[in-house]
Amino acid sequence: MDAKAKESGAAPDLNWRNKPRRTFTPEQRLAIVRQTQTPGVSVAEVAQRNRVNTNLLFKWMRLQARGLLPAPKESVALVPVTVVKTRSVRKKMAKATKPAGKTKATTGTIEIEVAGARIYLHGAVSESDLASTLRALSRK
């Protein structure tokens, strides 16, 4: 038996077997389904206009009616970040007492800002100290 692809009578650019499968984003699907909700527009007309199979469009409509059509992803809000020189803060922190509990010898900085107050954690910070700090902040 020959494993070659079957030859079709259609022109090569019209043969769907030679093209990769199209994918639609949730935004595109929802936009196409909303076009069918316009009064006086047929589903077949919308399908032809968007070059989508009518059965696929009906499937998207059923999914949307049941609330199963994936909603477009919301954009993530960005948080403003500022870089602050830490030399003066390190001098102040050097005077503070060392944290109790086991700590790993790692370097780093954690800055927490809540309601105008800033908390700087430099160097090795134990998990228990960080957890107690976050619990205290969450109570306010």
pLDDT value at position 60? 95
Q: Distance between CA atoms of 131 and 136, rounded to whole angstroms?
A: 9
Map out the domains of the chain with their CATH numbers. Answer: 16-66 (1.10.10), 87-139 (no CATH)
Q: Please give the Cα distance from 138 to 114 (Å, whole number).
A: 10
Instruction: Give pLDDT, residue 104.
Output: 52
Q: How many CA atoms lie within 13 A of 47 on its CB side?
A: 13
- Please enumerate in sequence order all residues whose Cβ is within 8 A of that of 99, keeping only pairs 6 or more positions apart, or say none: 124, 125, 126, 129
Q: Which helix (H) or strand (E) holds 41?
A: none
Q: What is the mean pLDDT of each run of 10 residues along the chain (140 residues)?
A: 54 70 90 93 94 95 89 69 62 53 60 72 76 72
pLDDT value at residue 106? 58
Taking a C-beta distance cutoff of 8 angstroms, is the pair 77, 85 a contact?
no
Backbone φ and ψ for 52, nearest 5 degrees, come out as -125, 145
Q: Output the pLDDT for position 115.
A: 64
- pLDDT score, position 20: 84
Per-residue pLDDT at 10: 57
Specify the pLDDT at position 119: 75
pLDDT at 19: 78
The residue type of 24 is F
pLDDT at position 55, please?
96
Q: The tokens of 56 are what?
A: 């696929």
